Structure 1
Amino acid sequence: MAPQSTLSCYLTLVLISIVPVFAAVDFPRCFDEIRRGLHGTQGGTDNQGNPVANITEATSITYEFCKQACGTGGGPFSWSSFSQQFSAWLLPWLALLSQFPFGSKYKEDNLMSVILSLGSPCLAAYSLALTVLNTKWIARRFANIKYPNSHDATLILSTLQQTPLKVTTEGGLLASLVVLPENDAWWKELGNRLDYADTHTWTIAGATSVAWVALAYSLTIADAFSTISTDPNSNGQGLSGVGSLWLWMLPLTIGAHFLSNFMLLGLSSYPGYLQISPRCDAARVGKAINDTNEHSFVARPTGPAVNANRINKMRALCLHSERDSLHRDEDATAPIFHYARLFSFTLVVEQFVSVFYYASENAKEHFAVDGAPWEAGDGKTVDPANRKGTKAQVTAYCRPSAFSSPANSYPPPHVRQSHWGPDVFSRLFIASVVALALQWSTSGASILIVYFTPTVGESASYLLYAAVATVIWVIMVISSVITHHATIYPEYLNLSQQRRRERRGAALIAVFLRRLAKCLATCNAVWILAAFLMQFGNFYDRCYCNAAVIGFGKRAHEVMTLNGNDISAMRAAWIGGVVLAVVGSALFWGFIQVFIDPPLPPPE
């Protein structure tokens, strides 16, 4: 680059940094001049926007008078103030965001999970709520099933919620996996591999991040209440902005990473812990399933069972390979994408429940798989001799038959009545209510604090953020419903051409909605970060924002001095906002606690 060009670049940078300094408005000085009558005597008001006769008694001024006397520029940028606020109020939360669990196969999916969490806390809370609700639901579906490995199946299915599971029933694969005693080792080995006994949930980095954020928020509250002053432009920025708006990160991060200490996992010979956010490392989980499948057995048309490797590469349980764009979010294993797997995962669980259920009912009646006399064994569990048979016998044993009597048992016989699965919409509704409560308790607290802190202009930024975050969640949930409707499962392969066209159209709509929501989430994440940076840099400290022109219209006024009543009302609003944010986050944490450790079927 030529010296002249380099010099031009330096001069440009200098001018860019100097211009804001000269364009900045010294509001304290301007207000002092207004009170002394140097800019005229018309335009003074009280703090409710009512005109006052004497400018020296004015505590506020109209927006037009503010522009005339002070100009349209913003307050002066101070690097020391900016860096202090950034490091104290924003940086701890960004560090906590990095503690969210990832694990997707592709880096762009991990990046998108961060963007979606930041752009729509409601979606992140919804996915986590679905996880705990599914855990409770799985335990209830297996509650009255008494058959070998049903306890392990409950835990393994709960653990694999974040993975795109594929179940194969053809060739008696699933029935063989459940019934044959040779596969008992398969269940134990997969449980051990998923146990992650070498993983310590409370890492130093994670615990430090949580403690750092909690301390930063506590100090923000203390700082805000100790520095309430008559200057309306220096009150509660950290408390209302980053502090309360992002308090949702605490229960989500703790719920996603650190609740494993409350849920004992008894799959291995030593005690381990099951995270409420299940195993989401795609590579590690995939390897665990693939390696375990090498030791699975399958029943043959005649003769004893053989290792499945001697038949073909098909397995009863595996991960979906690369699929089309319709199922892109289902295949991503980062926890926030669990919203997309609610319906498909429900059907996977129901397939296992069905096989275990009928096997359990037949075992209660002391029917052996091969029709031979029942071997009592030790009387505590089903003797392995009762669980051997040919492929036809094993398959029939796990279906409704003349020698099973499940009429009065719970859960009821598995006969798929719909494309959606049982209890799915009740879980969707509960998770939605919980997620919306967390989103709007924290965002609402921030809006409340700013709205009752003269002036109210900045509350529009937080209201816009919360509204868009909610819209993103709505679009994503609708997309997941349409995606499941558009998915053609094996039992629906004989659909008419018209129905197939309808589902292809639905698939296009689902993909469009999902991509639209991701674009909105990206914009919303960028917007809220930019809003914080502009707040720290005094960009909002200008007549237009301080006068809340959008909200007040012609009655817009800039508050120069807060009186005692204003400060009392502001303090009450701050207390209410802090209580709302803390209670909302605590209730979400309490919801996680209620569902975290459901009773499991006893080991056989």
Structure 2
Amino acid sequence: MLLAQPSDCSNAAVNFSQCLADVQLYANETQDTSSLRFNNGSLVPVQSIFNATAMTIGACYSQCGTGQESFDWQTFSQDFGAWLLPFLALISQLPFGAKYQPDNLMSAVLTVGSPALAGYSLFLTLLNTRWINKRFSRIDYPTRRVRKTVVRVLSSLQQVPLRIRPGEAAVFESLVILPANDKWWTMFDDSLNYTHTWSIASATSIIWVVVAYLLTVADSLSNVADSINSTGQGTGSVWLWLLPIVVGWLVLSPKCAYSRITHAYDRANEYIAVVAQAKRNPTRPNPGLIVEPEDEDLSSPDEARTPPVFNYSRALSWSRSVYIASLFYDAAWSRAKDNQTVDGSDWNRGNSADVPDEHRRGNRGQIIDYCQPKSNINIDKIRWAPGVFKHMIVASLVTLALQWGTTGAAVLTVWFTPTTELGCRSLAYLIYGALSTVAWFLLVSSSVLAHYARRSFTTTTLVVPPARTGGSSQEHSQTSFRRAFPTNGSADASDGPAYASDGPPDALHPANDSHIGNAQERLQVEMTNFQHRNAFADVERYLTPSSSRQDVSVNFGEGDSLELRPLVSQVHDASSGASDSVAGTSHDPANVQKQPAMAISHCLRWAGQTLASINAVFVITISVFQYANVFDRCYCNSSVFSRGSQAFDVIVFLSADVAQVQGAWIGGFVLAFGCSGIFVGLLYLLGDSLPA
């Protein structure tokens, strides 16, 4: 039953205590108590009209209107400064370092908009770092000191789109084998030896957040009845995930400053040694290990963004690259343990456990052969590194526990605050957690699809100008293609490289030029069989020992050098009759079939980033609304979402209500702080096996 004289201040500031008094007076006049309730929702008898502590939502609308309680600047400023401002300031302690400032901004937005994504990237980085340390722990080639240096370098490159490219050019193989390149690894490691770790500023920010949070919680628990609907207890819990994220990145100290990484890479490349007469192309300073691949070699733009929140997009490609590198080091270490030298000379280790430098020298063919992985390698692992999905699942479970531990604590805090159950505040926190989780799922799914749709493993090859071969460019293209796909039983699959007896060991035998005459025939045979070949067959052929391989047959003069370029899945275009010889567009039917997956990946990435951006604005907005009494209105205070037409608004809080609220707030605090503490504890527990 509506009141006789409904209020006309539907959008004006509301005094709920006065509204309840008016409803009680009207009920006393009419002896109708249908608009009054006790705090548990029970009806009020006529003799207890003035003991009523709540009113129905209909009476609230009719007497109070739809407006909010008056804005209180003092309450707003205190709550904003105590609950939200410390966390906003803590965002500055996140690792950034992108090449472009908009990427740094997007990094902060993604972190705030999707704590699940931030925690996932953090914990996955930790697991990957442990994995590479364990992967190389049994490999001491060439020395234990160099092995530790290699692990530190590769681990530090999780914030860049790392590409490992072994191949005929033997650039990466030279990094593995040649003793002169020990300095390359050491120089790279020394240049990367900067830390985004604990400082006075970061420690002060974290201490400020912790102390402010604890003091504010203690103060709110001692004054529960004061501003119970505008307190920031819930918002403090929903933001608490930021504390373990910042601490975690300080513990891991990711190398994410783009300028410093590229400077370290360029500086190290000044000392790189490449076997044979292969000259480094200035535009591609080290095609064997690349930290800045071409745009077309990126699965998504996020791969090139160095802030570590984007590690979700690089984890699969980084794991694959590191796994490939470990295969080459493991192969070299296995041969060294069998007392095999690179050039086939007698082994003379002496009393040292290190591999002597004189046993690590040879020509290109010998170096390629020495570190070739075993022929029984499971080629599926070339695209998906072993254990990578296990790491993704573990990281997902841990970060979802953090996300929903803090979000659940915020929901718990307001759920048991009268009027209990689901209202505007608790629903807002649930929406924030749900959008964060959905954004994380979309972005991680996009990274998996993008990695799946990427073209196959890329190698480096020798590119010989037509003038040096004495043939046409078409002949050179055919010869390069034949080298990309050696045919069993052909001269390309002979028992080893043939070198001129009177020339330098790395000079290629002129007699091999006789093979070029049959290049067209072999090319046609290869094209006939290509359609039935597995997409990974090219990788398998490359990974076979080089005893079944030969260098391209060329003639060059004394002092000449060969340019090194990447060989990207060279595949013949059957419709045009031409082959893409060098870094060309792949027409692999398998790649064509994967194009829809790449398109879906882009859509998921855009959707995930958009959702996270909206969610970042949303969580700040609901925090401000909480302090500004925007939620303190009839609709939000009555828990309409769960109670429906039976909703009511509690105005007077009894001692039992205060005790219930205190218990809920303490429970929310324990849940949020406990989940955050467990997350940090896991970081330190698992961090004991990280590279030194």
- With normalisation by structure 1, the TM-score equals 0.86
Aligned to 1:234: 228
Q: Identify the match of residue 303 of structure 2 among 330, 333, 338.
A: 330
Aligned to 1:582: 673
| Bigger Cα displacement from structure 2, 165-174 vs 415-424 | 415-424
Change (3 A) 1:533 1:37: same
Aligned to 2:468: none
Deviation at 1:244, TM superposition (A): 0.7
Aligned to 2:387: 423
Aligned to 1:23: 12
Is the contact made by 1:297 and 1:308 (CA closer than 8 Å) also made in structure 2? no
Change (3 A) 1:467 1:416: closer
- Per the alignment, in what secondary structure is the counterpart of residue 689 of structure 2? coil
Aligned to 1:164: 161
- Per the alignment, in what secondary structure is the counterpart of residue 596 of structure 1? helix
| Bigger Cα displacement from structure 2, 63-72 vs 75-84 | 75-84
Is the contact made by 2:419 and 2:637 (CA closer than 8 Å) also made in structure 1? yes
Q: C-alpha separation between the residues in 1 aligned to 2:9 and 2:210? A: 35
Is the contact made by 2:11 and 2:67 (CA closer than 8 Å) also made in structure 1? no
- Per the alignment, in what secondary structure is the counterpart of residue 67 of structure 2? coil
Aligned to 1:554: 645
Q: C-alpha separation between the residues in 2 aligned to 1:368 and 1:390? A: 12
Aligned to 1:446: 410
Change (3 A) 1:307 1:186: farther
AA at the equivalent of 2:318? F
Q: C-alpha separation between the residues in 2 aligned to 1:569 and 1:490? A: 61
Matched, 1:348 2:321: yes
Change (3 A) 1:34 1:340: same
Deviation at 1:401, TM superposition (A): 6.8
Q: Identify the match of residue 39 of structure 2 among 40, 47, 52.
A: 47
Aligned to 1:180: 178
Mapping of residues 292-311 of structure 1, within 5 Å: 292-300=268-276, 308=280
Deviation at 1:562, TM superposition (A): 2.1
| Bigger Cα displacement from structure 2, 156-165 vs 497-506 | 497-506
Mapping of residues 75-90 of structure 1, within 5 Å: 75-90=69-84
> What are the Cα deviations for residues 506-554 of structure 1, in whole angstroms up to 9, with x where unaligned?
1111011100111111111111111111111111111011011122101
- Per the alignment, in what secondary structure is the counterpart of residue 134 of structure 1? helix
Q: Identify the match of residue 507 of structure 1 among 581, 591, 598.
A: 598
- Per the alignment, in what secondary structure is the counterpart of residue 399 of structure 2? helix
Deviation at 1:80, TM superposition (A): 2.6
- Per the alignment, in what secondary structure is the counterpart of residue 203 of structure 2? helix
> What are the Cα deviations for residues 147-196 of structure 1, in whole angstroms up to 9, with x where unaligned?
12211111111111111112221211111101111111111111110112
Unpaired segments ≥5 residues, structure 2: 1-7, 459-534, 536-568, 572-585
AA at the equivalent of 2:12? A
Mapping of residues 88-127 of structure 1, within 5 Å: 88-127=82-121
| Bigger Cα displacement from structure 2, 426-435 vs 31-40 | 31-40
Deviation at 1:377, TM superposition (A): 3.9
- Per the alignment, in what secondary structure is the counterpart of residue 61 of structure 1? strand
| Bigger Cα displacement from structure 2, 393-402 vs 287-296 | 393-402
> What are the Cα deviations for residues 5-38 of structure 1, in whole angstroms up to 9, with x where unaligned?
xxxxxxxxxxxxxx99981011222223334447
> What are the Cα deviations for residues 373-393 of structure 1, in whole angstroms up to 9, with x where unaligned?
112244231110111110110
AA at the equivalent of 1:442? T
Mapping of residues 478-493 of structure 1, within 5 Å: 478-490=445-457, 493=569
- Per the alignment, in what secondary structure is the counterpart of residue 331 of structure 2? helix
Aligned to 2:209: 213
Q: C-alpha separation between the residues in 2 aligned to 1:239 and 1:309? A: 60
> What are the Cα deviations for residues 61-108 of structure 1, in whole angstroms up to 9, with x where unaligned?
100011112121111112232222212211111000121111111222
Aligned to 1:247: 240
Is the contact made by 2:269 and 2:285 (CA closer than 8 Å) also made in structure 1? no
Q: C-alpha separation between the residues in 1 aligned to 2:9 and 2:175? A: 71
Is the contact made by 2:165 and 2:287 (CA closer than 8 Å) also made in structure 1? yes
Aligned to 2:528: none
- Per the alignment, in what secondary structure is the counterpart of residue 195 of structure 1? coil
Equivalent residues, number = 548
AA at the equivalent of 1:208? T
AA at the equivalent of 2:259? A
Change (3 A) 1:599 1:515: closer
Aligned to 1:147: 141
- Per the alignment, in what secondary structure is the counterpart of residue 232 of structure 2? helix
Q: C-alpha separation between the residues in 2 aligned to 1:365 and 1:439? A: 51
Change (3 A) 1:401 1:547: closer
Deviation at 1:455, TM superposition (A): 2.4
Q: C-alpha separation between the residues in 1 aligned to 2:198 and 2:45? A: 64
Q: C-alpha separation between the residues in 2 aligned to 1:343 and 1:20? A: 59
| Bigger Cα displacement from structure 2, 123-132 vs 96-105 | 96-105
Q: Identify the match of residue 334 of structure 2 among 357, 361, 364.
A: 361
Is the contact made by 2:60 and 2:634 (CA closer than 8 Å) also made in structure 1? yes
Q: C-alpha separation between the residues in 1 aligned to 2:102 and 2:629? A: 34
Q: C-alpha separation between the residues in 1 aligned to 2:374 and 2:426? A: 65
Q: C-alpha separation between the residues in 1 aligned to 2:107 and 2:410? A: 24
Q: C-alpha separation between the residues in 1 aligned to 2:427 and 2:599? A: 34
Deviation at 1:597, TM superposition (A): 2.6
Q: C-alpha separation between the residues in 1 aligned to 2:336 and 2:230? A: 66
Aligned to 1:435: 399
Change (3 A) 1:291 1:101: same
Q: C-alpha separation between the residues in 1 aligned to 2:378 and 2:175? A: 18
Q: C-alpha separation between the residues in 2 aligned to 1:570 and 1:253? A: 30
Deviation at 1:57, TM superposition (A): 2.1
Aligned to 1:318: 290
Change (3 A) 1:540 1:93: same
Deviation at 1:53, TM superposition (A): 1.8
> What are the Cα deviations for residues 431-481 of structure 1, in whole angstroms up to 9, with x where unaligned?
000010000000000000110011242111101110111111111111111
Aligned to 2:566: none
Matched, 1:279 2:255: yes
**Alpha carbon RMSD of aligned pairs, Å?**
2.4
Identity between Structure 1 and Structure 2 (%) = 39
Q: C-alpha separation between the residues in 1 aligned to 2:381 and 2:218? A: 57
Q: Tell which structure's C-alpha radius of gyration is larger.
A: 2
